[in-house]
Amino acid sequence: MTDAPIRIGELASRAEVSTRTVDYYTSLGLLSPAERTSGNFRLYSPADAERIQLIKSLESQGISLEEIAAALTNPAADIGPILERIDCDLKTLQAVVETAPATMQGLLGVITTRVHTLIYIALQIPPDIPIL
């Protein structure tokens, strides 16, 4: 795959979304055109297709587009304390699951599955994904 900028239609096709979705994500600050043509067409990086897939994955897990935009546009942070907090929270969740009444087991199982899915998605984020 080439790194040459692509038009919105090609980006939408690669990401399997509509051009309206690309427009909407751009308006929210989730995407940023790399440049414009002489005819004022927006051109995007081919890597933006991966970014759209990430956005769709996070959104499918119930994270709002506004929260995704805030996270993706936030300058790089030290993730050490964040990982420590996640580890602590997961241990607390596990302890709650083990001691919860049977009526709560199903709900806690769903929560645990959601947490694991979000961690899996986070680990799949390419280190070179374009951050605005």
pLDDT tens track for 68-113: 887 777 766 666 676 677 778 878 887 888 888 888 888 888 888 8
Q: In sequence order, what E strands does the chain have? A: 6-7, 35-36, 42-44
Joined tokens for residue 110: 């769903």
Tokens 């959104």 belong to 59
How far apart, in whole angstroms, are the C-alpha atoms of residue 80 and residue 67?
21
pTM: 0.64
* Extents of the domains making up the chain: 6-124
Residue among 10, 126, 108 nearest 57 (CA): 126
At a CB cut-off of 8 Å and minimum separation 6, what does 128 contact? Answer: 47
Q: Is 6-124 a domain of CATH 1.10.1660.10?
A: yes
Question: What confidence tens digit (pLDDT) does each residue in 33-53 have?
Answer: 988 888 888 999 998 998 999
